[in-house]
Each structure stands twice: as structure tokens, then as C-alpha cells.
Structure 1
Amino acid sequence: MEFAFSAEEERWRREVRAFLDAELPADKEFNHEFTEDEELWEFAREFTRKVGKKGWIGLTWPRAYGGLGRPLPERLIMAEEFARRDAPFVNMIGYGLAAGTLLIGGTEEQKHRFLPDIARFDTFWAEGLTEPGAGSDLASLTTRAVRDGGDWIINGQKTYTTWGHRADVMYLAARTDPDAPRHRGISIFCLDLTLPGVSFSRLDNLGGGRQNHTYLDDVRIPGDMLIGEVGKGWSYIMSAFYAAGGISARHSEIQRMLDAVVAYCETTVRRGRPLIEDPTVRSKLAELAMIVETERLLAYESLGDACNGRTPAFAGALGQVVHKENQPRFAQLVGQIVGPLGQLRTGSRWAPMGGDAEAWYRASYANHAGGTSQVKRMVLATRGLGLPR
């Protein structure tokens, strides 16, 4: 089977590439999940605002809400090109999770109030899902939201709050009905992070970025910050990224990494010949290439499901399992190719590939987001194959 984009879609790809050539210098390409460099972050904010001025943040949303109404394949193409260049396109929680929830369940007033701000990157959103005792099993969350007149009072704790210390608001999941079944008593709120009662403690991750513990102590928020209907938070979370056009292009990201490894093997001599000629190295490169191709096919399948309104196979868990387990495997193979010097960090003159191998290895274990692969395998077994627990 051959996958090809139309001539019009390829013209769009060239437009995206031209924008990146003009607005993204090579020294500003970085993974914003694993960098706290303030100069780079200032560039990331400026770059994302430029994307917003083009109308591309809300590329697939209705025009009435700040979008352009473009088709989903164009969102995938844009994601591919941004990932290929490691573009610091920030506010994924805003343009993915929050926007998707608003498009699915928000009132017309909320859509007009929140979505244009997200489309312009006027509001930076952090995620408030995971808790110390509720991660992959998100339905066990205990943060409470209790009505008090026309307001809500929030109490609880969130953790792994990526970008919380940089964000303006939080996409907050809280339990509004403790007596309802676990999946039916959760609601979604937009929480202003400057409100009294909100505090953070630092949580540095292995990859080099910062996350946070977030504490919510009697935080009072207005009633109109409830997004959608009470008790429907679980269904919003499960459907939000599809609704916002959040098509993944992980294959493009790891293709860029593979290209760098191949270039290293072509120019590095070991035992009198280039690494690229070593049969063992070539075998590992072939495995890396298969990882890229697997991810690409899964991304295109996901796009096909979204375009045709199909329910993803295995409740959408297959791609998650494959990617979460491919990340460390890819980094391990790279480490085996470059050898022990691959443990050296950026800044060492002896570090292969400028220290990328070491950085990729550390970042490869940041695969808890959205649920661990073990939990996703349980979803594959029970919902996909009908096996008992």
C-alpha cells in the first residue's frame, strides 16, 4: 500500500517549511519539555505567537472560534514538519486538551471566550490531571470541587504539572460527585494559577526539565470556569485530542534522530572503516528504521480513523503502547551504536553527536504521560481482545 499526499497538501507542506526556514534558526531548535533555559523559552513563546498569527494553532477549528477550518491531513503535515525541525511549539495542553474539551462540551459562550485566546497564544495552559495517588488510573483522582453559591471551592493536589510554573491557567480535573461511579463524578475546570490557595513545589525530571507538585487549598473559582457539564469530565478527557485535531507525528521526530545517527555512522571511523559499513551497526540501524516506519504507519492509521469517524482499534491504546516502549528501545540502540562515550553529556568535547545520545536516553523514560505502557497493555487485552482482568 502506498501513502501519498495530494499536490495541494504538498504545497501546504512547502508553505510550512518556508515558515520554519524564515522563523526558526537552527540554534533555537529544542525540546521544550526538557529545557529550562530562559532565553530559549522566551524564543519559544515568541515563535508560538507567530504560529498563532498565521492562524495555525487552531488550524482545523471552525473559523468562528479563531480557527481556519482546514482538513486534518494538513494538521498532520504541519506536525510532521514541526517535529522534523524540533520546533519549540508550546501550549500543547491549551491547543490539544483544553481546546478539544471546549469544542466537544463547552458552551457557545465558553468557546468564544477561551478558544480565540488559545489560538493566539494569549493564554498558556498547564495540565492538572495526575495526582500522587492517581496516575495511570486517573479515575481514582481525589481532588474535590464543591459548590459554594455560584462558585466552586477546590481542594487537592496535582503532580507532574509540566509547565505549571510558566502557565497562566490549569486544565483541572476534579471530583464533583464523590458518590457517583468513578468515571462519572469528574468535572473539568479552567483554574487561574494566580488565585489565592494555589502553590507549587519544584519537581525536576531526569530529562532536564521541570515539572511541579501543585497544591490547591480552598481555591475559589467562579462558576463559569466549569467547562461543559458537571460529571462529564472523563469523556471529555478521552475525546479531547481528537476533537482539537491533535494528530501526532512522533515518527517525524524519531526520523530526525535516526538521520543524525546515520550521519554519525557515515563520518565516524572505528577499526579502520566507517561505522556504517559494520554489519552489527547496520543491523541496529535497520531496527531503528523499522521503529520509525511502525510509528509512521500508526500515525497514518490514527489520521484515517479521525478523518472517517472510526473508533480507534483497541480503544486507542495500540499506538500508545508501541511509542512508550519504542522510546527507551530507540535510545538503547543508539547507545549501543555509539558506545560508552554515548554516556557523555553536551559540553564534553568527547561526546558523540554533541551529547544527543545521552540526552535522548534520559528523555526516553519520560513515557508516563497519558498512562504507562503496562496499563495500556491492560486496555489492549480487555477492551481490544475481550480478555478478563
Structure 2
Amino acid sequence: MRLQQADEHEAWRAEIREFLEAELPPENAFNPEFDDEPDQWAIAVEFSKKVAAKGWIGLTWPKEYGGRGLSPVANQIFLEELYAADAPMINSVGIFLAAGTILVGGTEEQKQRLLPDIANMRTLWAEGLTEPGSGSDLGSLQTRAVRDGDEWVITGEKAYTSWGPMSDVLYVAARTGSGDGASGAISIFVVDLRSPGVTLHPMRNYGGGVQSSTHLDGVRVPANALIGEEGKGWQYIMRAFYASGTVEPIYAMQEARLRDLVEHCKSIPGKLEDPHVRADLAELADMVQTQRLLAYEIIGDNAHGRQTPWGGGVQQVIAKEYEPLFAQVYDRVLGPTSQLRPASRYAPLGGKPEAWYRQSFANHAGGTSQLKRMVLATRGLGLPR
């Protein structure tokens, strides 16, 4: 099967590439999820604001909220080009999870107040979903929000808060209803990270990025900090994760890395004649194409109003399990020198593959592949939990 896109989509892709060539010098191409030291973060913020100035944040949002009203295909092309260029784009929590929730369930006042600040990169969002005792079982979260007059009082602990120290607000899922279930018991709040009672404890992860343990100790927020309706948080989150029509194009980044690997192999006499190397390169190409086809199946369904019970579960399982596999096969082609860091003059491809391998295991965001398989079993096949 071969994907073919309309002329206007190819013109749109060319426009994005022209922008990236002009605004993203090679030394500024990196992943801010793992390269987030102050100097790097400043570069990422500056670049992201240039993207915002083009009006390219929230491409599928309605125009009245700062979006462009473009199709899911146009949005995917945009994301593919950013990932392929290793563009240091930030605020993914705000652009996708928070904005998706606001668009689906937020009040008109919240849409007018919160979305333009995301579109213009004036407000950076961090995620407050996972908890120490919950992991991928989001429905068992224990953070609680209690109504007190015109305010909500939130108490609990969140784990793995990416970009917490650099963000302005926190997307918080908290229990507002009784019972231990998820539906009808969880609500979503926007919490100013400078509020009294918010404490962040940053820590470095295996990939090199910073994540935080976030403590919410009786944090008071105004009534309008509740996004949408009370008790609808579970539906909002599931809509954001499974039915938003946006697919993170890891495959575009992998394809760019594969091209670099092929060029590296060409520089070594006889490397491409090795049948084992050729088989590994073919396997990497197959991983890229499989993910692309699954991604466009989701986007096509979304564009034509078709929703499957399992949403994007199949694509997400494949993408999560391919990330470390891709890195392993990639390093097998390079050989033992793939373990060398940039400081070594013997490191291939500038020493980047060493970091890529470590970062490939940071694929738990949005739930592990085991959780996604459970979603497929229960929602897709109707099996009991």
C-alpha cells in the first residue's frame, strides 16, 4: 500500500520545510523532552514562539479560539515535519491534552480565556495525571478536590510531571465524587504552579530529561479552575488519548534517523553488501511504514467521522513497542561504537545513537503498551476485565 496526498498537502509540507530551513539551524535541532538545560530550554521557547507567530499552534482548532480550522491530515503533516527535523517544540501537554479537554468539555468562557494563551505560547502546561500508587491505572487515582464555597481545595501527589519547573500551570485530574471508580468520580482542574501548597521535587530520568514529583497540599483554586463539568474528567481524558485524531509521529523521526544510518553505511566500504545489515535496514523501514499506515488509518477515520471502539489503541501499542526495538536494531547495524557518547571521536553519527537508545524506553506516557492491549481487549473485542 502506498500513501498519496493531494497537491495542497504537498504544498503545505513544502511551506513547513521552508520555515524549518530558515528558522532551525542544525545546532538548534534537539528533543526538549530530554535536552532541557536552561540554555537549551531558551532555544526551545524561542523556536516555539516563532511557530506560534505563524499561527501553527492548534491547526485543527476553530478559528475563533486561535486555531486555523485545518484538517487532521494537515495537522499530521505539520507534526511529521517537526519530528523529522528534530524541532524543539514545547508545550505538548497544553496543545494536545489540555486544549483537547477544553474544546470538548470547557465552557465558552474557558475556551476564550485559555486557548489563545496556548496558541500564542503564553501559558505552558505540565501534566498531573499519574500518581505514585496508580501508574497506568488512572482510574485509581487518589488526589482529591473538595468544594469550599467559591473555591476548590486540592490535595494529593502526582508523579512524573514533565517540565514542571518550566511550566506555568498544571493539568490536574482529581477525585471529586464518591466511590473508587473512574466514571463520574474524576474532574479536571487547571492549577497555577505558583499557588501556595504546590511543591515540585525535580529528578532526572534515564533519558536525561527532568520530571518531578508534585505535591498538592490543600491548594486552593477558584471555581472556574474546574474545566467543563464536575465528574466528566474520565471521559475528557479518554477522548484526548483515544479519539482526538492526533497521532504522535514517532515514525517520522525514525525515518529521518534511518536515512542518516543508510548514508553512514554507504561511507563504509562493503557495509551495504552485508546481508545482515540489509535485513536490519529493511526491518527498520518496515517499522516506519507500519506505523505510518496505522496513523493514517486513525486520521482517516477521524476526518470522516468514523470512530472505532478501541480508538488509536492498535497504533499506540505498535508505536510503544517499536521504539526500543527500533533503537536496538539501529545500534546492531552500527555495532559496539553506538554506545559511545559525543565526546568520543570514534562515536558514529555524532554520538547521538547512544542517547536515542536510552530515550527509547521513555514510552510510558499515556499508558504502557500493556495497558493499551487491555483497552483493545475490553473496548475492541468486548472481553471482560
Q: TM-score, normalised by structure 1?
A: 0.96
CA contact 1:100–1:243 (8 Å) conserved in 2 = no
Q: Deviations along 1:326-371, whole A, 9 cap, x unmatched? A: 0110111112111112111121112122112211110010011111
Offset of 1:114 from its aligned partner?
0.3
Offset of 1:276 from its aligned partner?
1.4
Provide the rounded CA distance (Å) in 2 between the counterparts of 1:143 and 1:67. Answer: 33
Q: Which amino acid aligns with 1:332?
A: Q
2:297 is aligned to 301
Offset of 1:265 from its aligned partner?
1.1
2:140 is aligned to 140
Provide the rounded CA distance (Å) in 1 between the counterparts of 2:203 and 2:124. Answer: 19
The worse-fitting range, judged by mean Cα deviation, of 36-45 and 98-107 is: 36-45
1:179 matched to 2:179? The reply is: yes
1:331 matched to 2:324? The reply is: no
Offset of 1:127 from its aligned partner?
0.4
Listed as ranges, the matches of 1:118-267 within 5 Å are 118-179=118-179, 181-240=181-240, 246-267=246-267
Q: Which amino acid aligns with 1:221?
A: V
Inter-CA distance 388–149: structure 2 relative to 1 (3 Å threshold): closer
1:98 is aligned to 98
1:349 is aligned to 345
Secondary structure, aligned partner of 1:187:
strand
Provide the rounded CA distance (Å) in 2 between the counterparts of 1:85 and 1:343. Answer: 23
1:31 matched to 2:27? The reply is: no
RMSD: 1.5
Q: Which amino acid aligns with 2:41?
A: W
Secondary structure, aligned partner of 1:182:
coil
1:12 is aligned to 12
CA contact 2:139–2:181 (8 Å) conserved in 1 = no
The worse-fitting range, judged by mean Cα deviation, of 24-33 and 369-378 is: 369-378
Provide the rounded CA distance (Å) in 1 between the counterparts of 2:113 and 2:245. Answer: 20
Provide the rounded CA distance (Å) in 2 between the counterparts of 1:68 and 1:386. Answer: 38
Provide the rounded CA distance (Å) in 2 between the counterparts of 1:44 and 1:31. Answer: 9
CA contact 1:195–1:219 (8 Å) conserved in 2 = yes
1:281 is aligned to 277
Q: Which amino acid aligns with 1:93?
A: V
Inter-CA distance 10–28: structure 2 relative to 1 (3 Å threshold): same
Secondary structure, aligned partner of 1:251:
helix
Q: Which amino acid aligns with 2:161?
A: T
Provide the rounded CA distance (Å) in 2 between the counterparts of 1:180 and 1:373. Answer: 24
The worse-fitting range, judged by mean Cα deviation, of 155-164 and 236-245 is: 236-245
Q: Which amino acid aligns with 2:258?
A: L
Q: Deviations along 1:7-52, whole A, 9 cap, x unmatched? A: 1111111111111111111110001111122222111111111111
Provide the rounded CA distance (Å) in 2 between the counterparts of 1:182 and 1:228. Answer: 16
**Which structure 1 segments of 5+ residues have no match?**
none
Secondary structure, aligned partner of 1:203:
strand
Q: Which amino acid aligns with 2:328?
A: Q
CA contact 1:100–1:242 (8 Å) conserved in 2 = no
**Which structure 2 segments of 5+ residues have no match?**
none
Q: Which amino acid aligns with 2:317?
A: V
2:371 is aligned to 375
1:107 is aligned to 107
Inter-CA distance 137–15: structure 2 relative to 1 (3 Å threshold): same
Secondary structure, aligned partner of 2:373:
helix
Offset of 1:180 from its aligned partner?
6.4
Inter-CA distance 243–169: structure 2 relative to 1 (3 Å threshold): farther
Report the number of matched residues: 385
Q: Deviations along 1:252-282, whole A, 9 cap, x unmatched? A: 11101111111111112xxxx3311111111
Provide the rounded CA distance (Å) in 1 between the counterparts of 2:7 and 2:256. Answer: 24
2:312 is aligned to 316
The worse-fitting range, judged by mean Cα deviation, of 37-46 and 150-159 is: 37-46
CA contact 2:338–2:347 (8 Å) conserved in 1 = yes
